[in-house]
Amino acid sequence: MPELKNDRLLRALLRKPVDVTPVWIMRQAGRYLPEYRATRERAGNFLALCTTPELACEVTLQPVRRFDLDAAIVFSDILTIPAAMGLGLYFAEGEGPRFERPLHGEADIAALRVPDPENELRYVMDTIRLARRELAGRIPLIGFAGSPWTLATYMVEGGSTRDFARVKALMYREPAVLQKLLMTLGEAITDYLNAQISAGAQALMIFDTWGGVLTPRDYVRFSVDPMARIVAGLQREAEGRRVPVILFSRNAGASLEALAGSGCDAIGVDWTVDLAEARRRVGEHVALQGNMDPTVLYAPAQRVREEVAAVLVSYGRGSGHVFNLGHGIAPDVDPDHVAVVVDAVHEESRKYHR
């Protein structure tokens, strides 16, 4: 593999010195880019785009061709594992992801089998291999997966939900059955992420999208602990470097200490937590990623630059910060405003690293 020319992201995630704060953006490959929309139309549908490595690689590279980003993230979906487990993933217009065969109880959960990443999920590994080749060492490539709790919510609910009634009913009525599901998913996610490392991923992120819907007690038991088991099972060295692991748990600001104790290298923070407070609470143990409110991207360019500066001020001097949004980019954001963010981070952050 070519030598990595820009390793700011990897250094910052390990709290090593950098010249400027690195920046990448969740959902940076997505519908706000006209080139993405054209590629998706060529694919025919979202699933075809995800499962065709040449097209998924093209989408992975589109934002890093357009913006001076410090990382690429493989284009995929968090629901690849449940899909490979045979639940029949499909996307309903205006409703998001759905499963033809959701989990209805203990028998369904017991019947689940851990997929082989180089078989049922080979398309993701091939996308990573293609992307690494095309990046040619320019910037690192991030691999990712959904957390056990987040995947479980979709698998039990049958898709997106507002009240999480089915999965929480399972949690309260039959916690051992839910734990069985989380253990199976944890094994599958560990295998999947290790395969991504072997294919060429240089950093990893676990998206715990729905961790914040749990009470603090249940959050540790059913979300943090399963992620910690995954982190403990990951291959942490590849190509002579440590492979950093980021955990992002939305609306979980009250439990940063629990996340910091998981064994991860960095925590993704949403915009509901002040970075200065987050750094005070956990900054000596892990790096922080975040945390500009994504809706700032609707504001005029000068206002966007001001908000970038405010986030950098909040974190303060020194390394250990990766600039990102507190969640993904909305589909109707102007791409020029993303360019403003990326350039402003590099310009404004230099003074914090002297």
Which residues are the active-site residues? 27, 31, 40, 77, 154
Q: State the Cα–Cα distance between residues 299 and 317, nearest whole angstrom.
A: 27
Q: State the Cα–Cα distance between residues 124 and 188, nearest whole angstrom.
A: 14
Here the tokens at position 224 are 């943090």
Tell me the Ramachandran region of residue 229: left when phi exceeds 0, alpha when psi lies from -120 to 50, beta otherwise. alpha
Q: State the Cα–Cα distance between residues 127 and 73, nearest whole angstrom.
A: 11
Q: Roughly what angle, to the nearest 10 degrees, separates helices 335-349 and 53-66?
A: 60
Q: State the Cα–Cα distance between residues 354 and 333, nearest whole angstrom.
A: 33
Which of 237, 66, 73, 62 minimizes the C-alpha distance to 139?
73
Beta strands in 229-285 (DSSP E): 237-238, 241-242, 245-249, 266-268
- DSSP 3-state of 35: helix
- DSSP 3-state of 265: coil
- Beta carbons of 18 and 12 less than 8 angstroms apart: yes
Amino acid identity, position 203: A
Here the tokens at position 345 are 């981070």
**Which run of H or of E encompasses 315?**
helix 301-315
The conformation of residue 319, written as its DSSP 8-state character, comes to S
Locus of tokens 């309903």:
92
